[in-house]
Structure 1
C-alpha cells in the first residue's frame, strides 16, 4: 500500500534548507528553490527562506484571513484510527465513527461527546485541516515510529492542498519514559527509547550524572524529529512542595537548584541550540508556570477543590517555585504552559517576584493572569516565546473567570493575559464570536461582566496577529514550512539505534536508590547458590499484581531457586508499587501516601477541611500480607529485600521495618533493580524528594491548614515544623529508618 512519502519531491539548496513537497508549487530564483507557501506564486517575504522566521511570520499574518488565524489559536486531542485511545478515557471516545482512508492511519472518523475538558466535536482529519484550517493537535496515539512519520506526512500533504500552506504542528506529551500510561499526562510510552520516570532521571542525576540528561535530550531530539513530532509538552519545571500532588511523578523532584540545572541541559539539547529551536530540533513547552507544586493539601486543579495555589510561607514563590522557570527561559524554551490554578491571596503570605516587587495575587487562573504572564514571565524573566494554555481552561477549569462565557474567556486569555494557544477544544466558532463582539456592538445590547472592560474580553486584531505570529515563528524556525516530511523507514531505523536503548538501560540502573542494607546486598550468585527465593509483586490492582508476579518469577527462574511458600525462603524479593487517587477525579479525602490496605481516613468538605465522616483507602492490594511474609522469612532465618516504586512521596512506616534491604525505583525497569540486587551494578542513585515520616507531619487542622507548609519542599520543611515533632537532631519531617538514616532529599547508600 503506498505511503505519503512515496510522492514526496525533494530539492536541495546549496547552503540552504531542503525543500520537500507533495503537491505544492516550487519557485526557482538565483539557482535556489523556494516553496510557494502563501499561494502568491511569487518570491514574497513569506516564501523566501533567507528572511528570518520572525520576519516571515509577521508577513504571513497579513496574508491569512481572520478565519485562518483564529483556527491557529486552538489545540486539542487528536487520534489515529489504527491506534484507538485506551485506558480510563477509552469509554469517552468509544463512539468515534470508524471511517478511515485506505491506509488505515489517517483518521476520517468523527467524535461528539463530553470529556473532562468540555463538550467535544472532533471532525475527521481532512475536514479539520482543509475546512476548519486548524493546525495544532495533541497527538495521543502510542504509534510506531513509521506510522507516526507516515501519519504526519499524510496530514501535511492535505495541508498543501489549501490556498495557504501551514504544516501540522502535532504536540505530544513525553514519550521516552517508562510508567503507566495516563491520558493527558503521558499518553504514550515503550515505543521510543525508554528511560526511567523523570523522578528516576533526577535520582540518577543527583548521583553526579548530569551528562545523562544530555544523552536523554539528544535521544529525544533525534527520535522525535525522525517521526515528525516537532513539539513536546515537556518537561515539568515544577518543584514538588506538597507531597500529595498527583503529578509528582512527572517532575524532577523537589529541589529548584537541581531542576534548574536539568532545564539548562535538557531544553537546548532537545531544541537544538541554546538560543531556541533549530531545523533539526523539537520545540519544548515547559510547564506549569509559575509552578504547580504549591497545592493546597495536594488537591489537583482538574477539580474545584484544587483551584488554589497557596503560598503560606513568606518568600516561597521566589525561593522555590520561580527559579526553575527562569532557568527554562534562559535556556531558550520555545513555549511555556501556565497551570490551571490561581493564587490564593487570603491564604498566602506576602510574596515577591524576581525583581523584588510584591506579587499581585489577583484570583485568576494563571492562563488568565496578566501580572504573572505579562509582568513577571515576559517583562521580568524576558520570555519571548509563546504561551500555550493547559487543556480545558476555557470550559471546565476556568478558575477565577467562571462568570465569563466561553468567547469572553478566549478574549480575556488572548487579548488581556497574552495567551497564544488555548488547549482543550477546537473553539473556532467561539473564537470568531470573541472577535466579532469587538466590532459589532455586542456590549451595547448585552451587559458587560462586572469588573471587566470590553477591550479585555474581545479578541482584537492586534492580539490575534501577535498570537499567530508567535506560533508561526516557531514553525518557520523548525524548518517545517520548507521540509515537513520524514521517511517512515528512517524513523524506524533511528528509534532502533542500539546506543540509545543502552543509554536508557544505564539510566534505569543509575536511578535505583539503595535506602537500607544490613549487608545482604550485593546478593551475588555465590551468596544465593543453593538458596531458596520467594518472589512476589504487589500493586493496587489484584490482577495486575498477579500478572506482575508471574513475570517476576519467570525473570528469576533461570538463575534462582524459587519457592511458593515464604516460610521456606532464605530470601524474599518483594516489589511494591503502590498507587493513590485518580488523576481526573477528586478523592473523598486527602490523597493517601501511606502504603496501606483498608485504612480508615477522614473525608473532606467542599472547602477542603477535614470532616468527622470517614472512608477507607487502599494504596496496595495485599499490603497487609507484607508483614506476614516478612515474619515467615525471618522465622526461617532469611532476609527480606523490598523495592518500592516511588511515584509519590510514600510513607514507608508499614514497609521499612519489615525489611533487611530496601530500595527505591522510579518507574525503573525491574531488570535494572535486579542488576543492583544481584551485584551487577553498584547503586549510585539519590532520592530526588523527601519521604515524609508519617501522618503526623501531613496532618491538616480544622481550618484546613497543614502542619507542614504546602509551598515548601521537603528538605526545608523542618524550618517550619513545631518543636514538639522534632527529634534530638532537630528533624521532624523526613522518615527515619531503624539504622537512623533520614530518607530525605539527596539520601542514598552506595555499594
Structure 2
C-alpha cells in the first residue's frame, strides 16, 4: 500500500485533502465494498500471531472470510493474547490480507477496555500484556484529570504498538442507579467529574491533534445509560427500560458535552429504550429523535455512530436464550431493523456481519445507495485521518518492549495506590510493617513482604480480608458477568467478618463495583477500605502507610436497600441519608 500505486489508486496521494481522497475512493467502490464498511463485529486471532480460521464457540468465521469475502474492515478484537508481539504479528498479517483485496482498504481494529482487573465479554478484557490500571471508577476515585489523561496517553501508545486504533470507551454514563450493573466502567455519579475525566480520557487517547498516532475514542452510551429500571442491564429483556421519574434526562447529557468539546470522534448509543420521555420508546440505536434530532442536529456531531452489539439478528450470547436486544422493535424483521437503524442516523451495525442483507435492501430500493454514501464518507474519513492508508502496519519486533513497559506498569501501579479509598478506621490502620498478618484474598507470598503471615486470626496482630461487593446470581454465565440485584451482603459474609473481628483488629477491603450496603461490615470491622482494581501489593502499600491514602468515593454509598428502592434512578445523590457521601475518603 505504498504511494507507488498512486496513479492506479489516486486516493493514496497524501498531498490531497482528506475529503477529496474520500470521494476518489468512494467513486471506485462497488455496492458490496460499501456495504462491508457498515459492519463492526468481533474478530478472532489465530495462535502465535497467525490468521484465524474462526471460532465456533463465538460464531466467528475466518479472517479471510470477513476481509476478502465480505469486504469488512472494522473489527473488535476478541480475547487476550499471551504477548503484544502475537497481536502485532497477527495484525500485520490481517493488513496484508486487506491489502490484497481489489481496493486495498486497510482494516481498523477496535477493542473494549484492556487495562483493568475485570473480564466481561460484554464490557471489558483482562489486561494481559498491557499495563494494569484501576477500572474507571478507580480512576474517578483519584479525581485527577491529569492522571486520567496520562493513562489515556499510555494506553494510546500501547494500543497503537499492536495496531488497535479505536477504543470502544470511555463510558461516561452516570451511575445514578446504585444497583446498575455497568458502573465499574464509568466515572461515577457526579456529572461534572465524569465530564472532566471523560474529556481527559479522550485527550489522552487521541493526542494533541487527531492523526496517525491517535486512537479514536467511541464514547458510550449516548444519551446516558445510568437510569435503568431497578438497575438491571439492557443486554437482557428484563432490563430494557430506561426511566426518568425525576424528569432528569438532560442531566445525563452533561458528560457527553465535555467529550464533544474535547474532540471525541465516535459514539455508541445504549441498548436501553426510554420510557415516559418525548422520545420514541425504542432502543437508542433505533431512535431517530435521539441520534438525528439530539446527537446530529442539536449537538452538531458529525462523527461515527456505531450501535451496540447485536441489534439486528438476535444472536444468542454464551447460552443466554433471550437474545433479542431490539427493544421496542422486537416485532420487526432483521431487514426492517437494519433499515430503522440507518434511518435513525447510525453509521455502523455493532456485532453484526450481514453485508448481504444491506446489499439486498439497496437493490430492492428500500435503502438508497446515497444513504450508504453518507456513512461511508465518515467511515473512510476516519481511516484516512488515522493514517492507515499511508502505513497500516506496526513494528511487531518492538511491540513487546512498548506494551507493558516498566515505565507504563509503574504508572499503572501508582494509580492503583492512589485510587484506594479508606472509608473507616478505628485505629487498625496503618498497620505496622512486620506485624503478624492473617489474610484472606491475598496470596501469602505477597503478604509476607509486609509482615509475618499467620494461619489464624487468633495468632495475628491484624487481619486483612478482601471481599467482593454483593450481587445476585442469575441463570446464565453471561448474566453473571453483569453484577445486578440486591446490594445487601449475605449474612454469611457479615458473620464471618464479625467472627474474625472478634479475635483480632480487622480491615475489610471491598471491591466496590457497585455501592454496597456497607453498614453491617462497617459495624463489624475496625477499618473498611474500597478499591476498584488495585493489586494486593498496591493495597498493602496504602494500608501499611508506605504511601498515603488519597482515594475518594466516586458515588454515594446508601444506608439501606429501602433507601435505594425509594430513590429515583435518573437523579444523582438521591438515596436518603447515605452512609458515606461522594468524595468521602480518610487519610492515613
TM over 0.5: yes
Q: Classify 1:68/1:506 alpha carbon distance in 2 versus 1 (closer, same or farther; 3 Å).
A: same
Written as runs of structure 1 = structure 2, the 5 A alignment for 1:487-498 is 487-498=395-406
Residue 681 in structure 1 maps to residue 540 in structure 2:
no
Is 2:517 the counterpart of 1:626? no
In 2, Cα distance between equivalents of 1:289 and 1:233: 13
* Structure 2 residue corresponding to 1:313, chosen from 226, 229, 246: 246
Please say if 1:161 is aligned against 2:100.
Answer: yes
Alignment partner of 2:187: what SS? coil
- In structure 2, relative to structure 1, the CA distance for the partners of 1:506 and 1:590 (3 Å cut) is closer
Gap change, CA 1:25 and 1:560, over 3 Å in 2: closer
Partners of 1:76 and 1:138 within 8 A in 2? yes
Q: List gaps (5 residues or longer) in structure 1.
A: 1-23, 28-34, 83-102, 349-359, 439-457, 538-548, 599-621, 634-638, 700-706, 719-731, 736-742
Q: Does 1:418 align with 2:418?
A: no
Please, which moves more after superposition, 180-189 or 278-287? 180-189
Which structure has the bigger radius of gyration?
A: 1
Structure 1 residue corresponding to 2:375, chosen from 452, 463, 467 = 467
Residue 49 (structure 1) aligns with: 14
Alignment partner, residue 298 of structure 1? 231
- Aligned partners of 2:327 and 2:13: how far apart in 1? 43
Give per-residue Cα distances to partners, 1:417-465, cap 9 Å, x unaligned: 1111101220112212222231xxxxxxxxxxxxxxxxxxx32212111
CA–CA distance in structure 2, aligned partners of residues 75 and 561 of structure 1: 52
| RMSD of aligned residue pairs (Cα, Å) | 2.1
Of residues 326, 330, 342 in structure 2, which corresponds to 1:398?
A: 326
CA distance in 2, matches of 1:681, 1:474: 43
Q: Identify, as 1 or 2, the structure richer in helix.
A: 2
CA apart distance, 1:586? 8.2
1:108 maps onto 2:2 in alignment: no
CA distance in 2, matches of 1:488, 1:160: 18
Match of 2:109 among 170, 182, 189: 170
Question: 1: CA distance between counterparts of 2:285 and 2:527?
Answer: 46
1:748 to 582, 585, 588: 585
Change (3 A) 1:522 1:496: same
The ranges of structure 1 where at least 4 consecutive aligned residues each deviate by more than 4 angstroms after the TM superposition are 586-590
Match for 2:265 among 334, 339, 357?
334
The residue aligned with 2:321 is none
| Separation (CA, whole Å) in 2 of partners of 1:570 and 1:163 | 71
Identify the match of residue 79 of structure 2 among 110, 119, 141: 141
Query: Which residue of 2 is the match for residue 16 of structure 1?
Result: none
Q: Of residues 289, 292, 296 in structure 2, which corresponds to 1:378?
A: 296
Measure, in 1, the Cα distance between the counterparts of 2:481 and 2:382: 40
The aligned counterpart of 1:708 is 567
Residue in 1 that maps onto 2:437: 533
Displacement of 1:682 in angstroms is: 0.9
Answer yes or no: is 1:521 the counterpart of 2:429: yes
C-alpha displacement of 1:340: 0.7
Task: Count the aligned residue pairs.
Answer: 574
Deviation for aligned residue 1:632: 2.3
CA distance in 2, matches of 1:254, 1:676: 25
Match of 2:185 among 231, 235, 250: 250
Query: Does the C-alpha gap of structure 1 residues 81 and 691 become closer, same or farther in structure 2, counting only changes over 3 Å?
Result: same
- Which whole-Å CA distance do the structure 1 matches of 2:12 and 2:481 have between them? 53
TM-score scaled to structure 2, two decimals? 0.93
Distance 1:222 1:468 in 2: 28
| CA distance in 2: counterparts of 1:495 and 1:589, whole angstroms | 30
What's the secondary structure of 2:200's corresponding residue? helix
In the aligned structure 2, how far is the partner of 1:628 from the partner of 1:496? 41
Q: What is the aligned partner in structure 1 of residue 536 from structure 2?
A: 670
Name 1:407's counterpart in structure 2: 335
- 2:550–2:585 CA contact under 8 A, matched in 1: yes
**Cα distance in structure 2, aligned partners of 1:594 and 1:185:** 24
Q: State the Cα deviation string for residues 45-83 of structure 1 (Å, max 9, x = none).
A: x2221223233223322210001111111121111132x
1:419-434 aligned within 5 A: 419-434=346-361
Give per-residue Cα distances to partners, 1:481-532, cap 9 Å, x unaligned. Answer: 110100112111112432221111111110011111123322232xxx5x53
CA distance in 2, matches of 1:586, 1:563: 34
Q: 1:388 aligns with which of 294, 300, 306?
A: 306
- Contact 1:299–1:586 under 8 Å retained in 2: no
d(CA) in 2 for partners of 1:127, 1:562: 55
CA gap of 1:628–1:326, structure 2 versus 1, over 3 A, is same
Could you say which structure has the greater relative contact order, defined with CA pairs below 8 angstroms and 6 or more residues apart?
Answer: 2
1:240 lines up with 2:144 in the alignment:
no
Report the equivalent of 1:454: none
Structure 1 residue 584 displacement after superposition: 3.8
**Equivalent residue for 1:127?**
65
Residue-by-residue CA offset, 1:251-289 (whole Å, 9 max, x unaligned): 111111011101221112211235xx3110101100000
Equivalent runs, 1:582-621 vs 2, <5 Å: 584-585=478-479, 591-597=485-491
Say if 2:22 and 2:380, in contact at 8 Å, map to a contact too: yes
Q: 1:123-170 CA distances to partner (integer Å, 9 max, x unpaired)? A: 211122112111111101212211111111000101111111111111
Counterparts of 1:271-290 in structure 2, within 5 Å, are 271-273=206-208, 277-290=210-223
Taking structure 1 as reference, are residues 559 and 674 closer, same or farther at Cα in structure 2, changes over 3 Å only? closer
Does the C-alpha gap of structure 1 residues 629 and 286 become closer, same or farther in structure 2, counting only changes over 3 Å? same
C-alpha displacement of 1:471: 0.8
Q: Counterpart of 2:164 in 1: which secondary structure? A: coil
Q: Do residues 734 (structure 1) and 578 (structure 2) align?
A: yes
The one of 348, 351, 364 equivalent to 1:437 is 364
CA distance 1:43–1:296, shift in 2 (3 Å): closer
Mapped to 1, the partners of 2:530 and 2:480 lie a distance apart of 27
Task: Indicate conservation of the 8 Å contact 1:516/1:660, yes or no.
Answer: yes
Tell me the SS of whatever aligns to 1:535: strand
Distance in 2 separating the partners of 1:55 and 1:660: 67
Compute the TM-score of the two structures, normalised by the length of structure 1.
0.74
Q: 2:458 aligns with which of 567, 576, 596?
A: 567
Checking the alignment, whether the CA contact within 8 Å between 1:172 and 1:232 is kept in structure 2 is: yes
Q: Is this contact kept in 1: 2:120–2:481, CA < 8 A?
A: no
In 1: Cα distance, 2:74 partner to 2:203 partner? 23
2: distance between equivalents of 1:279 and 1:466? Answer: 23
Output the CA distance in 1 between the equivalents of 2:211 and 2:3.
Answer: 23
The SS at the match of 1:322 is: helix
Rate the CA distance shift 1:536–1:188 in 2: closer, same or farther, 3 A. Answer: closer
List per-residue Cα deviations over 1:400-419 (Å, max 9, x = no partner): 112211111111111x1111
Distance 1:403 1:670, change over 3 A: same
